[in-house]
Chains A and B, each alone.
Chain A
Amino acid sequence: GQSLEQPSEVTAVEGAIVQINCTYQTSGFYGLSWYQQHDGGAPTFLSYNALDGLEETGRFSSFLSRSDSYGYLLLQELQMKDSASYFCPEGDSNYQLIWGAGTKLIIKP
């Protein structure tokens, strides 16, 4: 079966660091993606991890541990514009993305 778990909501302070966790349980797992979606907007791609380890892109980093069926997105130097929902869809063997409900990130000044 396929099951993605993320916290429904995370609150952080502007300028701080926040980690959004994602656990999955699936057979045929091919990798974990991260997408950002602002209210009323479309999802935009942030990163993709197929192998264990950390991928860094500017202020955002994504980590994957296949042995633990776990990944996270790390956002540094938080800005108000980072307030959005974050999704960690998993990729399957047919190049499809399976989406969970996502995490709403609230940033306070």
Chain B
Amino acid sequence: NAGVTQTPKFQVLKTGQSMTLQCAQDMNHNSMYWYRQDPGMGLRLIYYSASEGTTDKGEVPNGYNVSRLNKREFSLRLESAAPSQTSVYFCASSLKTTGSSYEQYFGPGTRLTVT
């Protein structure tokens, strides 16, 4: 099993460009998450999907959109990139059962730079 995979690993965008970050998991998990991590900081939740067909905003959703394509895949889209979105983006997944939801499995991350 690959666990959680993310593409791309690195990306450089110019201000105003758009892009989609892809995430897939093969663990049959119900819940999926998108976080961003700025240098020296903890993770901040952008959006999450508690189950297939549902998505909800997290702490910092502005400037982002998501799609839960099916149970395996959860994508994050930046419609018009801004330098403030320069960050490392992590996708994660978890089983949605009491206790188990707090055990999240992370992808390797996408390092995004917006110039």
Q: A42-B108, A96-B48 are in contact. Are A87 and B103 (CB under 8 A)?
A: no
**Nearest chain-A residue to B59 (Cβ)?**
A98
Q: A43-B43, A101-B40, A101-B41 are in contact. Are A95 and B105 (CB under 8 A)?
A: no
Residue interface bits B83-115, CB-to-A below 8 A is 1, else 0:
000000010001010010111111111000000
Residue interface bits A41-78, CB-to-B below 8 A is 1, else 0:
11111001010000000000000000000000000000
Q: Is the CB of A45 within 8 A of B104?
A: yes
For B, the interface residue count at a CB cutoff of 8 angstroms equals 23
Residue interface bits A65-109, CB-to-B below 8 A is 1, else 0:
000000000000000000000010101001111011110000000
Q: Is the CB of A42 within 8 A of B94?
A: no
Chain A residues positioned under 8 Å from B105 (CB to CB): 45
The answer, yes or no, to whether B58 is at the interface (CB within 8 Å) is: yes
Residues in chain B within 8 A of chain A (CB atoms): 31, 40-45, 48, 50, 58, 90, 94, 96, 99, 101-109
Residues in chain A within 8 A of chain B (CB atoms): 30-31, 33, 41-45, 48, 50, 87, 89, 91, 94-97, 99-102
**Nearest chain-B residue to A101 (Cβ)?**
B42
A-B contact pairs, 14 of them (CB 8 A): A31-B99, A41-B108, A42-B106, A43-B106, A87-B42, A87-B43, A89-B43, A89-B102, A95-B102, A96-B45, A96-B58, A99-B42, A99-B43, A102-B42
Chain B residues positioned under 8 Å from A89 (CB to CB): 42-43, 102
Chain A residues positioned under 8 Å from B103 (CB to CB): 33, 45, 48
Chain A residues positioned under 8 Å from B50 (CB to CB): 94-95
Please name the 4 residue pairs, one residue from A and one from B, whose CB atoms are nearest each other, closest first. A99-B42, A95-B101, A42-B106, A91-B102
Q: Is the CB of B96 within 8 A of A95?
A: yes
Q: Is the CB of B102 within 8 A of A97?
A: yes
Q: A42-B107, A96-B45, A102-B42 are in contact. Are A91 and B101 (CB under 8 A)?
A: yes
